[in-house]
Homo-oligomer: A and B are copies of this chain.
Amino acid sequence: MSSPSENAFDLGQFLPYLLNQAAEATSLGFQPVYRSTHGLSRTEWRIIANLGKFGALTAAGICKASHIDKTKVSRAVAQMEARGLLSRAPDISDGRAERLALTDGGRAVFTEIGAQAMSYDRALRDRLGGDATRALVKALAVLSERREG
């Protein structure tokens, strides 16, 4: 009765925990690429990835696309502008917003890290195999749906 009960909660079978472990393991495995080589934080790398994909965005657009907090984006963008990775221009249609875009240097970083990211991703998918990868991606999409609350 007082021994480890099969009715007791086991963190090791809790999906949010298992998801976090896999997310951290795979994120840490890729971290050296943007961190050691380019001195970027994960937030900065994600902003570069979004600007590289969409071409130009406002800060709010980056927030929506990446689910990064607006204060993180604001501070990261300021530093990335100072480092010459992106440029800011007033938004023609909305005086409150600013149009953010990668500079040539930022695009070069995107191209280089992006290539390594695709290679890293392929390696992960190879480890899983095609069927398991498809099943995983589908499950993650279901779990990522934002519920009202």
Contacts and interface: CB of A to CB of B under 8 A. Distances in A.
Interface in A92-142: 110, 113-115, 117-118, 120-121, 124-125, 127-128, 132-133, 135-142
Given A121-B15, A140-B19, A9 B145 contact: no
B124 A132 contact: no
A30 B9 contact: no
Contact of A27 (B10, B12, B20): B20
A1 B117 CA distance: 21
Interface residues of A, number: 60
A23 B16 contact: yes
Nearest to A134: B135
A79 interface: no
B9 A144 contact: no
